[in-house]
Amino acid sequence: MKLTLRVWRQKNADAPGAMSTYQVDGISQDMSFLEMLDTLNEELILAGDDPVAFDHDCREGICGACSLVINGDAHGPERTTTCQLHMRSFQDGDTIDIEPWRASAFPVVKDLVVDRSAFDRIIQAGGYITAPTGTAPEAHATPVPKPDADFAFEHAECIGCGACVAACPNGSAMLFTSAKINHLGVLPQGAPERETRVLDMVGQMDSEGFGGCTLTGECATACPKGIPLPSISAMNKEWLRATRKVRR
C-alpha cells in the first residue's frame, strides 16, 4: 500500500507543533501500525531527518504505552491498542492523521509522546493494600463471591493507556480512576483502605487537572479492554459512601 501520513511533530512541550506530511510506500496489510511507523522512521533516518518519536513497549496489547490518536480516534478505527492495529484496517491511497493524546494533564514530551505520569500519581495516592504479602495463602482461605471476583477481574484489566482521557471531550480520567478503585474495593484484601482509597485517588485525579465527567460514554467506547461505563457510577457510590463515613 501507498499511504499519505500527516504526523504531529513537536520538539517539546514548550515548542509549537504542526502536522508534517510524509509518503510511505510498500506497506504490507499484515504490518502493525507501529511497524508502519518503524518503516517511516527508517526512511527518515536514511534521509538524515529526525525520526518521529512515539511510545511503545510490549507491542502485545498489554502495557498501554502505544498512545496515538489515529484519524481522530484513540488507538484508531478498531477497538484495540495501537500496537495491535494492523494496516488491513486501511486502504491503499489513504491519508492517515496521527496525533498524540490531547489532554492538558498529558503534556507533550516530543512528537507523539506524552507524559502520562499523572496516572502513576493517582495510583500512588491509594492504589495499594496493607494486607501482608509473601507466601501465597491457600486459594480458598478467603472466600470471594463469584460476582465480586468477576467484577474485580473486569476492572483489573485496565492497562492505563489513557485512551479514555484522549477520547473524552472533557479530558476526564474518571474511567481509569474508577477501574483502579473498583477492582480493589470489592475484594476483602482491599477492605482496610476502602474509604481512604477512593477519597485519596479522586482527590489526586482532581488535582492533576483532568476534566469533569459528563457521562458522554466516549471513554468506554475507546477503552481497548472494555472497562464498562457503569464503573464510574460504582466509583461515585464508593466516594459518597466514604464521604458520609468520614463525616460521622
Hey, what's the torsion of the CAs at 78, 75, 210, 100, to 10 degrees? -150
Indicate where the chain has its CATH 3.10.20.30 domain(s): 3-110
Residue 105 C-alpha from the chain's centroid: 13
Class in CATH terms, 116-247: mainly alpha
Quick one: pLDDT at residue 139? 64
Topology of domain 3-110 in CATH is: Ubiquitin-like (UB roll) (3.10.20)
pLDDT in tens, 4-21: 999 999 999 889 999 999
74 close to 163: Cβ distance less than 8 angstroms: yes
Q: Full-prediction pTM beyond 0.85?
A: yes
Distance from the first to the final alpha carbon of the chain: 65
The C-alpha atoms of residue 188 and residue 176 are separated, in whole angstroms, by 21
Quick one: pLDDT at residue 135? 74
pLDDT in tens, 65-102: 999 999 999 999 999 999 999 999 999 999 999 999 99
Alpha-carbon Rg for the chain, nearest whole angstrom, is 20
- Furthest C-alpha separation in the chain: 68
pLDDT in tens, 212-245: 999 999 999 999 999 999 999 999 999 999 998 7
Quick one: pLDDT at residue 248? 56
Hey, what's the torsion of the CAs at 184, 189, 193, 199, to 10 degrees? 10
For residue 85 the three cell numbers come to 492495529
For residue 190 the three cell numbers come to 482491599
- With cut-offs at 50, 70 and 90, classify the pLDDT of residue 127: confident
Indicate where the chain has its CATH 1.10.1060.10 domain(s): 116-247
For residue 47 the three cell numbers come to 534521509
pLDDT in tens, 156-206: 999 999 999 999 999 999 999 999 999 999 988 888 899 999 999 999 999
As beta bridge partners, residue 70 has 73, 98
